[in-house]
Amino acid sequence: MKAIFYSTMSYERPYIIREQERLNNELKLLDCRLTLETASLAKGYDVVSVFVNDDGSAPVLRELHRHGVRMLSLRSAGFNHIDLDEAEKLGMIVARVPAYSPHAVAEHTVGLMLALNRKFHRAYQRVREQNFSLDGLMGFDMNGKTVGVVGTGKIGELVCKILAGFGCKVIALDPIENKHCLDLGVQYVPARVLFERSDIISLHCPLTPETRHFISREALSAMKTGVMIINTSRGAVIDTKALIDALKSSKVGSVGLDVYEEETNLFFKDLSDQVVHDDVFVRLMTFPHVLITAHQGFLTEEAISEIARVTLDNISRFGNGLELGLNQVRAAVQISAPRGSVT
């Protein structure tokens, strides 16, 4: 198989190359994103491999198909960026890595909570400037606080487990109740109740038409004053402009984000010597109680190694005419479908 990989990062290339050594594929690793403009680079390749901010829209897929591409191999669990109906029409197989390390994202999520609560990001700067004052660094005990978890799939379940260990009361929202969460004592509640009761709200649902802007102006107004919101799922689950207004009025106390609605043109790049033109994002960064990481929840050795292994396996199986099983993503699968079949 000849495969071309878009959006490869320096941190993942050694893992891809290591996996490649045991398989018989011919790979080309590119830095650039897949877009309509870069699709022609795939000419002569059977497989295109993409990451979360590559463009998998219908025009791009048609262009890839025109150049002879027969398979799209996602190095992610999420597939909301791929037009599956178009891929099916074109007869293009789409495969993904359904689970690599839910621990990586769950642990990052709780890391954001702790950092915001105990203000590590501010304390770090202060101490480096020899400012040892504690003013403004007051946190709260996690023990006894109510945390609302939206989406108790693979990642949400682990978040519930860690928080239960802290002595938090965990309430959750998910159309499908997770037995392991119920066993932990997690109580499933309607959205309104979750908004009203939670001291911290953590988002772990997929991005679907139903969950787009789930954290809306109305949802924010139903929340406790001073609530902490953490999003490591997909940016558009939050209406960012409404969130900024809620931060300005102090309705929302603190926010931890690993994802952002318009992250495609920002994240995974070094823009340190450039002007950022996204005023919404820039405003978000001005709040002292907002902590943003650039979509790094998955970034552990275990997760990256597993992504490389499964991606190369998917490509080899396709090349050898073997079934891809649950790793194949089909248009018929609704992205609001139950755990295991989404993101």
Q: Which is nearer to ligand NAI, 56 or 319 (CB)?
A: 56
Contacts of 205 (CB under 8 A, 6+ apart): 150, 151, 153, 156, 174, 211, 214, 233, 237
When asked if residue 7 is in the footprint of ligand NAI (CB under 6 A), the reply is no
Q: Mask: binding to ligand NAI, 88-117, rule CB under 6 A, as x and -?
A: --------------x--x------------
Task: Please say whether the beta carbons of 200 and 185 come within 8 A.
Answer: no
β-bridge pairing 187-188 and 2-5:
unpaired
When asked if residue 297 is in the footprint of ligand NAI (CB under 6 A), the reply is yes
Contacts of 144 (CB under 8 A, 6+ apart): 167, 168, 169
Q: Mask: binding to ligand NAI, 235-274, rule CB under 6 A, as x and -?
A: -----------------------xx---------------
The secondary structure of residue 316, as a DSSP letter, is: H
Interface residue with ligand NAI among 174, 261, 263, 313 (CB under 6 A) is 174
**27-42 burial string, b = 16+ CB within 10 Å, else e?**
bebeeebbeeebbebb
Which one of the spans 3-11, 200-208, 275-283, 304-312 is the region binding ligand NAI (CB under 6 A)?
A: 200-208
Q: Which residue has the tokens 């109510």?
A: 146
Region of 269 (left: φ > 0; alpha: ψ -120 to 50; beta: rest) is beta
* Catalytic site includes residue 234: yes
Interface residue with ligand NAI among 14, 44, 175, 226 (CB under 6 A) is 175
* Catalytic site includes residue 295: yes
When asked if residue 210 is in the footprint of ligand NAI (CB under 6 A), the reply is yes
Give me the sign of the Cα torsion angle 205, 284, 120, 128.
positive
Amino acid at 329: V
Q: Which is nearer to ligand NAI, 166 or 268 (CB)?
A: 268
Taking the complex as a whole, the smallest distance from the CB of residue 188 to ligand NAI amounts, in Å, to 10
Taking the complex as a whole, the smallest distance from the CB of residue 298 to ligand NAI amounts, in Å, to 4
* Catalytic site includes residue 180: no
* Residues catalogued as catalytic: 234, 263, 295
List contacts with ligand NAI (CB under 6 A).
77-78, 102, 105, 150-156, 173-176, 204-208, 210-211, 232-234, 258-259, 295, 297-298, 336, 338-340, 342-343
